[in-house]
Every structure is written in structure tokens, then in C-alpha cells.
Structure 1
Amino acid sequence: MVNFEYLVPTKILFGKGTENEAGRLIKEFGGHKALIHWGGDYVRTTGLLDRVHKGLKDAGITYVDLDGVVPNPRLSLVKKGVELCKQEDVDFILAIGGGSAIDSSKAIAYGLANDFDLEDLFLGKVSTDKIAKIGAISTLAGTGSETSNSAVIDIDTMGPKTLKRSYNHECARPLFAIMNPELTYSLPAYQTAAPGADIMMHTMERYFTTERDVELTDEIAEGLLRTVKTMVPEALAHPTSYTARANLLLAGAKSHDGLTGLGRVGDFACHAIEHEIGAMFDVAHGAGLTAIWSSWAKYVIHVDPERFAQFAVNVWGVQNDFHDPMATGLRGIEAWDQWCHSIGMPTNLHELGVNPTDEQIQEMAEGAVEARGGDHAGNFMKLHVEDIVNILKNAR
């Protein structure tokens, strides 16, 4: 078990009606004027925005609104948000939504607190530990951005080519996260399934490790995976199931705050590859991940077939062939594919609806490695450009 530091300072307010407490929490954390940031009609049409406005007014918090966030949030909107915050003397950013709205809000908060080009931050040319105050109201269970240290942004401000890049720092964990499962009831099936798969992947990226002696972390991770495996189909079948929605919302937060990776080094090669797919083809993040995971898994299983066998048995209930861990592990990968199909998620690029050329695959492979700042992506198996090319070709 490797040394680790684990601190999640985000205050979670969980349950029915908690969105009405946003103003009180902003005031508690020293905010005076907030930027309320979101995307889509849901926030307005359901009355959620009105309730948030009232809560801020009752707490004596003034505010300005900025909508327009889209999946795979754009840096161009972030920059507009930074300028609006400066013009309006905003000192607190309140995100309403899923990972896109929260990540866009984090990027705005970085821009408000620092004097550099945000492109340079997400391209790794500068770093910072300064960020404006942030809070989040979650309306989607999946990305875990409401408790994570990560922000992922599409850089669309540098010409025709869009780059999808992340910046991770502990300062980016929101001060509070408001999580009312009822706010997720009206999500379309696709927006339940794709983020549900993302929850699984956030844990699986940490689970597949060559680090030994992490039994407690394994138990936490496997329990979370089994829960999400059950609750995504339940939420799809019964969209207003409070039990399913509550478990998914909490699992999303815990899957990406570091808990399921304590004591080991995560992999995140699939995230690096998906970021390139998402930037090039503008696909849903969770669906992009499911489209490549089994190809990645089959490519790297030889590194530690026993690890994949454990995943197959403890998460998917596969019968263990003690004499052939490779065979057991491959049945676990097959079980994953079957689960993805059962919730409407793709397991290859064709099912995702994209058909990259060899030239595009080469470009994505090079981008995945470049984004990691070295000569490879991943840790379970260090993947070089040619490895990622093979994985992407196998996923077509």
C-alpha cells in the first residue's frame, strides 16, 4: 500500500429540499455575490432556479445568472463567465447541474482568482493553488465533480481543433455540494445510463492497479461497483425511485473524491483516450468510456489476470476458475459488456456512432499521451502511442 494523503473538505448537504439552503451555505462560507452557472432548460422549467434565487435573496446574497453550459464544456463560455464575474464583483460561483456545469464553474473560478491565460492552465504550461469560492447543486449522478479536485474543459479558443484537457488540484474541491436525489428524477434514460457508467469507470480506473495489500480499499470499491451495477437499471426502470437515485448520487460523489483509490496509484488511461474521442467527436463522456474499456481491458489483462479475475468474481458474480484466472477475467469483461448493453451503452466505437480513420486514431493516440505530459498514458500498463493506436483499432 502506497503512502497517501486524503482530505475531502466539501460539505455535503444531502436529501429532499436541500437546494433551498444554497443561500445559507454561500453566506456561511463568506460569499456576498454569486454567479449562478448552469446549462439547459431544466433548471428554469422545473422551478429549481426560482427556488435557488429565493434562497439567495432570503440569505441576503445578490447574484447574476449565466446559462449556456453544454456537455463537454467550452472554454469560450468560461472566459465570458470570468469577465462577467469581474464586471459584477462576484466572489462566489454556484454551479447547478452535472459535471459540465461544475467543471465550467471551476474553470471560471480559476480565471477569477488568477492572472494568466486559462489555455495555459489546461495545457499544463502554468499551475496554481488559487481559486475563487465554489459551491455546487447536483442535478445528475455521475461525474463526481461536486467533490473531486478535477476540472475538464474543451479548449475551443485556439483555432479549428478542439482539445479536451483537465487540471487537477485540491483547491478545486467545492466548499459545499447540495445533493437532492429528487432533482435527478426527470433525467432522460441516456443521462442516467451514461453518467452511471462514468461512476463505474471512476472507480475502475482506480481499482485496476498493480499495488498489493489494499484489501480495505478493494472492499469499498467493489461494494460501490456492485451498488451502481444494480441501481442504474433500477433508476432506468423506475425513474422516481428515491432509493436508486439517492444511491447513485452518493456513489457518484464517492467514486471520484479519492476514497476508492486509497493506498494505490490509479490508471486513468481510458479517461485519457476518451478525452481525445470526446474532443474529436463530441460524444457523451460516459458512453465514450464504455466504448473503449473492454478493448483496453483485453489489451492489458495479461499484466495481472488475477486482478481481472477478482473483478469478475467480486463485482459480477462470475464463477471462479482457480486454475485459469485469465479465463475468469475474460468472463468478467464479457459481463461488463452485457451490463453496458443492458443499460443502452456502447462497448465499441461503432456502437458509439463514430468511425475514426487511421489518421484520426493516430492523432487521438498522440493526444492521449501528450495530455499526460510524458511518453505514455496509464499505470496498470504504461501505454505508448502504438499501444493506444492498437486499442482504438480493436475498439472499432
Structure 2
Amino acid sequence: MDNFTFQNATKILFGKDQEQAVGQETSHYGKKVLLHYGGGSIKKSGLYDRIKNSLAEAKLEVVELGGVKPNPLVSLVREGVDLCKEHNVDVILAVGGGSVIDSAKAIAAGAYYEGDVWDFFTGKTTATQTLPIGVVLTIPAAGSETSSGTVVTNEDGQYKRSFGHDSLRPKFAILNPELTYTLPAYQTACGITDMSAHIFERYFTNTKKVDLTDRLCEATLRTIVSQGKKVLEHPEDYDARAEILWAGTIAHNDSLGVGREGDWGSHDIEHEVSGIYDIAHGAGLAIIFPAWMKYVYEHDVARFAQFANRVWDVEIDTRDLKATAEEGIARVEAFFASIGMPTRLSHVDIDETHFEEMAAKATERGPLGSFVKLHKEDVLAIYKLAK
């Protein structure tokens, strides 16, 4: 196990009706709040009104910015930065899923920066001071409610890039499983895939003797598989929704990655797909991850065989570990297909037109990943495996 420092200061308020406390929680960080959200779903559900009433009861002044889309755009982030500066906003409240939270984080970083907020995503600058962020989560998926990272898309060049800083971890996150009841099945499945991928990125490591976090990763994955099927069959099963909601947070709050080297190559490969084609991130990961696994598994066949056995109950064939590993990968792909996810680029009408461009953009700042270092030709091969 490697040396590590772990600190996650996000306060979690979990359970029924917890959103009623949003005004009180937000008021700890100032009087002027930017209320940031996506489309009309929070208004149709009544959540918007409950949030506004709670903020009013706390005597908070509200500036609003809606319109966040999946794969959030830097153009809206820039608008949010301008609003924060114009109105001297003290705190940002993100109501929605990972896209809304990521957009809020980017705004929080840009609010104290005199240059263009995209500079954070190109590595030109880093955060020194950011606005505090609160969250009311409506989509279990990205884990952004407790993470330090954000991902946005720049329409100019169709670049999807990430940026991280500890100051971007939300100060509090409200997680009510009931707020996820009305999610469409496809969106629920995308979330299940996304949180699974966050665990894969940590599980496939070159660090040895990390059995505790191996076991934690495996347990969380098994929970996602079993409870994910339940929520798709019974969308208003509170207990199953609660398990999935908490699993999404655990998958990306850094606790499963302590003391071990993560990979993150598959995320970077997928970002090029959704950056150009604007598909759901979870759907893109369902396509890319099995292809990545097929490409790299021989680097550590024993780890993939362990994964197959402990997560998918594949009996280990000591005479042929490769067969065990390959069966585990096949079960990942079959699970994604069983919950309605695409598992090939052709399933979402993506052909080879941009493969070269995507591989070049993905690796323009150097090779991807750490489990196996991936250069342009490797990324291109993975896209071809995924077609």
C-alpha cells in the first residue's frame, strides 16, 4: 500500500425530506446564492419550489442560472462566472446531477479569476480561491457531490476536459433517494455505469497488497449490480434507491482509492467520444471500458481473474487464468447490455470517421492511464475494439 493523505470534508445529509434543510445549510456560507440547475425537471417535480421556499425562509438573496445540459458547456460556465462577479455571490447551490455540479464547480473556480475559466482546464492556471458550493443531488452517477473534480466541454474544438482542486469539494450535499424516483430508466442505467466505472478506474492498479480497498471496491460493485437491477425493475423501491445513491457517492469520494495508484485512461478516452458526439457519459463508458479491459488485461491477468471471481462469481481456472479473466470482462459487457446500455460505438451510430482525431486529442498532453500507459496508437486500437 502506498502512503496517502485522505480528507473529504463534505457534509452529507442523507434520507427523506433532507432537502428541507437546504436554506439553513446554505446560509452558513453567505447571504447571496447562485441557484444553478438544469432543465425543467426540478420544476415539474416541485423540488424547485421547495428549494426556493427554504432559501427564502433563510432570508437568502437568490440569483438563478438554469440551462445546464449533459456534458456541461464552458459557455454557460462563463455566464455563471459573470453573474457571480456582478452580484457578489457568496455561495453556489447546485440542484441536479453531475453535470450541474461540475458546472457549479467551474463557476466557483472562475469567480475569483480574472482570466478565462477555460484556463483551469488547459493547465494554464490552478485554483487559489473558490466560492463554496452546496448540492441537492437528483441523479446518482458522477459522484461529483463529494469529489474535487469537474469536467466541462468547450464548444470551440469540442474539447471535454477535467480540472480538480480540493477547494472544489462541496461543503454539503443533500441526498434524498426519493428525488431519484422519477429518473428515466436510461438515465438511471447511465448512472449505474458511471459509478461502476469510477470503481474500475481505482481497482485496476499496479499497486500491490491493497486487499482492503480491493474488497471495498468489490463489495460496492456487487451492491451496484444487485441493487441496480432492482431500481430498474421497481423505480420507487426506496431501499434499493438508497443503496444506489450511496454507492454512487462512495465510488467517487476517494475512499476506495486510498493507498493505490488509479488509472483514469478510460475516462479520458471516453471524453473524446462524448465531447464530439454529445452522448451520455455513462453510455460512453459502457462502450469504452470493456474494450479497454480487452486491450490491457494481459498486463495483470491475475488481477482480472480476481475481479472475475470476487465480483462476478466466476470460478477461477488455475490452469487458464486468461479464460477466467476473459469471462469476467464478458460479464461486465453483458451486465451493461442487460440494463440497456450500448456496448459498441455502432450502437450509438458512431463510425470510424473521428477515431484518428479523438486518439490524437486524447493523447496530445501525453500518454493516458497508469495501469498500462496508452499512446495514440493504443487509444486508436481501443476505439477500433469498441466499434
Structures share fold, TM-score greater than 0.5: yes
Deviating 4+ runs (over 2 angstroms):
none
Q: Give yes or no for the alignment of 1:364 onto 2:368.
A: no
Could you tell me which residue of structure 1 aligns to residue 216 of structure 2? 220
Could you tell me which residue of structure 2 aligns to residue 300 of structure 1? 296
Could you tell me which residue of structure 1 aligns to residue 169 of structure 2? 173
Q: Give yes or no for the alignment of 1:9 onto 2:3.
A: no
Q: Give yes or no for the alignment of 1:59 onto 2:58.
A: yes
Structure 1 unmatched runs, 5+: none
Residue 113 of structure 1 aligns to a residue whose secondary structure is coil
Could you tell me which residue of structure 1 aligns to residue 142 of structure 2? 143
Could you tell me which residue of structure 1 aligns to residue 111 of structure 2? 112
Could you tell me which residue of structure 2 aligns to residue 70 of structure 1? 69
Specify the code of the residue in structure 1 equivalent to 2:259: G
Q: Give distance in 1, aligned partners of 2:87 and 2:49.
A: 21
Is this contact kept in 2: 1:104–1:153, CA < 8 A?
Answer: yes
Specify the code of the residue in structure 1 equivalent to 2:206: T
TM alignment of 1:307-326, pairs within 5 A = 307-326=303-322
1:197-244, CA deviations, whole angstroms, 9 ceiling, x for partnerless residues?
000000001000011110110111000000001111111100001111
Q: CA deviation at 1:274?
A: 0.4
TM alignment of 1:177-256, pairs within 5 A = 177-256=173-252
Is this contact kept in 2: 1:113–1:131, CA < 8 A?
Answer: yes
Could you tell me which residue of structure 2 aligns to residue 96 of structure 1? 95
Specify the code of the residue in structure 2 equivalent to 1:395: A
Q: CA deviation at 1:56?
A: 0.9
TM alignment of 1:40-55, pairs within 5 A = 40-55=39-54
1:305-337, CA deviations, whole angstroms, 9 ceiling, x for partnerless residues?
000001100001111112211110000001111
Q: CA deviation at 1:272?
A: 0.4
Could you tell me which residue of structure 2 aligns to residue 345 of structure 1? 341
Q: Give distance in 2, aligned partners of 1:175 and 1:71.
A: 23
Residue 298 of structure 1 aligns to a residue whose secondary structure is helix
Could you tell me which residue of structure 2 aligns to residue 335 of structure 1? 331
Residue 3 of structure 1 aligns to a residue whose secondary structure is coil
Q: Give distance in 2, aligned partners of 1:66 and 1:268.
A: 31
1:275-303, CA deviations, whole angstroms, 9 ceiling, x for partnerless residues?
00011110100110110111111110110
Q: Give yes or no for the alignment of 1:282 onto 2:278.
A: yes
Q: Give distance in 2, aligned partners of 1:143 and 1:127.
A: 22
Select the residue among 380, 390, 394 that pairs with 2:371.
380
Q: CA deviation at 1:390?
A: 0.7
Specify the code of the residue in structure 2 equivalent to 1:74: L
Specify the code of the residue in structure 1 equivalent to 2:358: M
Specify the code of the residue in structure 2 equivalent to 1:354: I
Could you tell me which residue of structure 2 aligns to residue 392 of structure 1? 383
Range moving further from structure 2, 109-118 or 380-389:
109-118
Structure 2 unmatched runs, 5+: none
Give the TM-score taking structure 2 as reference length. Answer: 0.98
Residue 19 of structure 1 aligns to a residue whose secondary structure is helix
Q: CA deviation at 1:389?
A: 0.6
Alignment coverage as a number of residue pairs: 387
Is this contact kept in 2: 1:288–1:352, CA < 8 A?
Answer: no
Give the TM-score taking structure 1 as reference length. Answer: 0.96
Q: CA deviation at 1:118?
A: 1.0
